[in-house]
Structures are given as C-alpha cells and as structure tokens.
Structure 1
Amino acid sequence: MPAVQEVEVVVAHRERATLRVGDMFLKIDADPERADVEVQAMAIAPVPTPEVIWRKPHVLALAALPGRALGRLGEPSAASSTAWAAAGAAVRTLHDAPLPPWPGRSLEELAARLDGECEWLVTNGVLPVDLVTRNRHVAEAALRPWKPVFTHGDLQITHVFVDGDEVTGVLDWSEACRGDGLFDLATLTLGHEEHLGDVVAGYGADVDLDVIRAWWSLRSLLAIRWLVQHGFDPSSPGCEVDVLRARM
C-alpha cells in the first residue's frame, strides 16, 4: 500500500485557501476571476513561475517551486543579501516587461479606500488616533502620479522562492496588474527594512525611498481590517502594526 501523503494547509480564510499535497499546491478561490488573472499573468511574466498542472472551476493546481520562501513577515530572513538582491533584479525584469492588458487601481480608488480604512481604525478603536494620523500623513506621499508597469500586486516575501542566491520562482499572481513599481518593492521589503538596500541594489535603478516608506504605511493601513476580519493578527511582532509604529 503506498504511503499516504499529508495535506498541509498553507493559508486559509473565507475568500480562498491554499493546500499542499506532496509536490503540488491546490489553490481554491471563491472568485474565479482571480484565478483567470493568475493564469494569464504567469503566462506572460518574464520571471520564473509555477507550472500549471491543471485547472477546474474554483481550483488551480500548481507544481511546487524548488527552494524556499525568501522569508516571512515578523521573522528574521535566513536568506543572504545576494538572494535579496536577486529578488530585486527579478522585480526589475518584471517591471521592464510589456504591460498586462488589464488595468490596476486608480489613485482616486486608493485615496478613497485609505480614507475609509483610517476612519474604521479610529472609529472602532483598533489603533490610537495619533498612530493612524501620522501614518496617513506618511502614506500620502505614495498617492502621486506614476508611470504604470507590470506589477505583481502582492509581492510578499513568502511569494518569492530562492535556492541559495538564485530566485527559483514567484507565486500568487492573482493581484497582478498595471501599477506603481515602488508598491512591489515596498511589499517585498515590508517589515524587513534592513534588506531594502539589497533589493534596491539588485533592482538597479534610482528609486524614491520616501515613497517606498509611504507604501509601507499605506499598505499596512489598508490591510489591518481585512486581516482582523479573516482571523489574522496584524499586531504580531514585526507585522503591520509594528510597521506603522516604526514610522512614529
């Protein structure tokens, strides 16, 4: 009788879940349009992505990537500075590629969402008023016109896999769109400011570090309600609330 493989729950909440069975990931999504975007983005992205094994309604099967994630939010990264720089170079390759055919969020949409999330955080006593006010002021630097590039849209360090000093692949493309390249750099380095220099060096272009810091504040302010409502703790050490406190 063959050995029974265990099912690992990678992440699960009300919108979607990702399971690992052996060398295959199963992504279950309530919104099939996100899977549509993911498959299309992986097909045109000029960086390594997982192989699509099969797809059925609401379920996408992907081959596991070699290596391991660059790190995790709230934990020190074991990856080398060279690996972080390689991640920056991969992001630059993506940003230099032709734009995807679908648009991203507008400045107006982001500004309106920031207003709503800040109001919710204060009204519900989730964060102190001065912490929200200070970070909202910082975040406003990100709300400026930008030249759209092909962005991953959710480039968390858990989505970038490395083997030694080389990037072996990038996961989770459901938020890919036309957007601000500095948002990707900010998402990649959120909670890991010590590696920002490595990423920028690998990216190989002049970037406005103040705008990256603004995106740290903006992303954290926008994420907290969603995290709380889906059973995650943004106040865990090194996570979103600590990112906001660092701006004080």
Structure 2
Amino acid sequence: MADVEEVKVVVAHHERATLRVGDVFLKIDTDQRRTDVEVEAMAMAPIPTPEVLWRKPPVLALAALPGTALGRLGEPSMASPAAWAAAGAAARMLHDAPLPPWPGQSLDEVAAQLDGECDWLVTNGVLPTDVVTRNRRIAEAALRPWKPAFTHGDLQITHVFADGDEITGVIDWSEAGQGDALFDLATLTLGHEDRIADVIAGYGTDVDLDVIRAWWSLRSLRAVRWLIEHGFDPWPEIAVLKSRL
C-alpha cells in the first residue's frame, strides 16, 4: 500500500464528484450524457484539453494539465495580463471552430430560467428585492438573438490553466454546445472586470461590453440557488450582484 497516491476530493455534490489521485483526475457523474458531451467536446475543441486516459461509466479518468488555474472567483488573480490575453485568444479559436452537433440552451429557455430564479431569490428572501430587480434589468441586454458559436459553457477561470503566459488547457466541458460567444467571455471575466481589456485584446475583435455585463448579472442570478442547494458558498456571485447597484 506504500505506492498508493493520496486521494484528494476536488469537488463533490449529489450529482457529481471529482477526485485527484496523483496526476489523474477521476470524474464520477450520475448523468452519462454530460460525460458524453465532455468527451466529444474535448475531441472537437481546437485548443488544449486534458487527455482522456480511460472511461468506465460512471467514471472518466483524465490526465492533469500542467500549470495552474488563472484564479478563483472572489480572489485576486495572480496570472499575468499576457496569460489573460492568451485565454481570450483561446476562446476566439473555440468560437471560430465548427459547431458541435448538439444544441445549447435556447433564448426562450434562458429567459424562463432567469425569471424562475429571480422569483425564487425574492420569495425566499435570499437577496433584497432591489438587488434582484436591478440585476434582472441589466440582464435584459443578454436576452437577444445571438449567432451560435462553439462555446465551452462554463469557462470560469478555475477551468482555464496557464503556465507563465501560455494557456496549457481548459477543463470541464460537460456544458459545451452551441451558444452565445459573449457568455463564455462573461464567464471568464466574472468578478475580474479589471481583466476584461486583456481578454478582449487576445480575443482580437470588438465585443459588446453591455452584453458581457448583462451576462455577469444573468449568470450570477442563475447560480445562487444551485450553489446553495449543492452545499457551496454563493458569496462571490452575491458580491457580483450587489456590485451592480
């Protein structure tokens, strides 16, 4: 037993768990459709992704990426401006790639989910009504037709790894699909507004900042209940929402 690596729980809730054993990540998911999406999306993506070592449902084994994550929501990022720009360039490569064959959420589905989450936040007294109302109004700018792009779907900074100024890979592709490219950029920069100029410089094209700000509010409004119900602290998302006032 001396050769057995330490097992580290990376994240765990009633739907999924991720364990790290040495340089191997074991992802256990009750919904194999998410794993199907993850494996296929990584195979299609034109940017670095973890190597799939093996798959024995419900477990997917992935090799660890070199480098470290760009940062964490709610904490200052130590990554260089060049690394953030490289993340923007990687996002642009993904968004310019051929679309995956499966659809993402429709505009109507996003709008309906937003309405439901806002009602829940107010009804349960999780957030003051003025905070929800203000952010709901800001979120309206995201509720417009968009040209579908190959999107990661959860491009938060903990999922983007860099070694120095270079991106070494992007993890957690289970939400990938056809979607709004600006949602990815908003997710990447959520809580790190000071990095948006670096990301856009790397992305290489003008973007609508009002829509990105709208997605900041919309994503945070949709996230709070899920985080609470799955045992996570929603404070960083709540801080984003309160900063909109």
Q: TM-score range by the shorter chain?
A: over 0.9
Structure 1 residue 32: deviation in Å?
0.4
Structure-2 residue corresponding to 1:240: 237
Deviations 1:79-120 (A, max 9, x none): 000000000000000000000000010110011001100000
Query: RMSD over aligned Cα, in angstroms?
Result: 0.7
Structure 1 residue 216: deviation in Å?
0.2
Structure-2 residue corresponding to 1:142: 142
Structure 1 segments of 4+ aligned residues over 3 angstroms from their partners: 1-4
Structure 1 residue 246: deviation in Å?
1.2
Structure-2 residue corresponding to 1:32: 32
Percent of aligned pairs with the same amino acid: 78
Structure-2 residue corresponding to 1:214: 214
Structure-2 residue corresponding to 1:45: 45
- Mapping of residues 1-248 of structure 1, within 5 Å: 2-235=2-235, 239-248=236-245
**2 CA distance for matches of 1:152 and 1:170?**
9
**2 CA distance for matches of 1:143 and 1:18?**
33
Structure 1 residue 233: deviation in Å?
1.2
Deviations 1:36-70 (A, max 9, x none): 00000000100000000000111100000000001
**2 CA distance for matches of 1:230 and 1:123?**
19
**2 CA distance for matches of 1:175 and 1:211?**
20
Alignment-mate amino acid for residue 21 of structure 2:
V
- Mean alpha-carbon deviation: is it higher for 3-12 or for 206-215? 3-12
Structure 1 residue 245: deviation in Å?
1.0
Q: Which runs of 5+ in 2 are unaligned?
A: none
Alignment-mate amino acid for residue 116 of structure 1:
G
**2 CA distance for matches of 1:40 and 1:5?**
29
For 1:14, what is the secondary structure of its paired residue? coil
Alignment-mate amino acid for residue 245 of structure 1:
K
Alignment-mate amino acid for residue 64 of structure 2:
A
Structure 1 residue 3: deviation in Å?
3.7
For 2:55, what is the secondary structure of its paired residue? strand
**2 CA distance for matches of 1:129 and 1:27?**
38
Alignment-mate amino acid for residue 239 of structure 2:
D
Alignment-mate amino acid for residue 61 of structure 2:
A
Structure 1 residue 212: deviation in Å?
0.2
Alignment-mate amino acid for residue 230 of structure 1:
H
**2 CA distance for matches of 1:12 and 1:196?**
30
**1 CA distance for matches of 2:216 and 2:202?**
20
Deviations 1:206-228 (A, max 9, x none): 10001000000000000000000
**2 CA distance for matches of 1:177 and 1:58?**
21
For 2:71, what is the secondary structure of its paired residue? coil
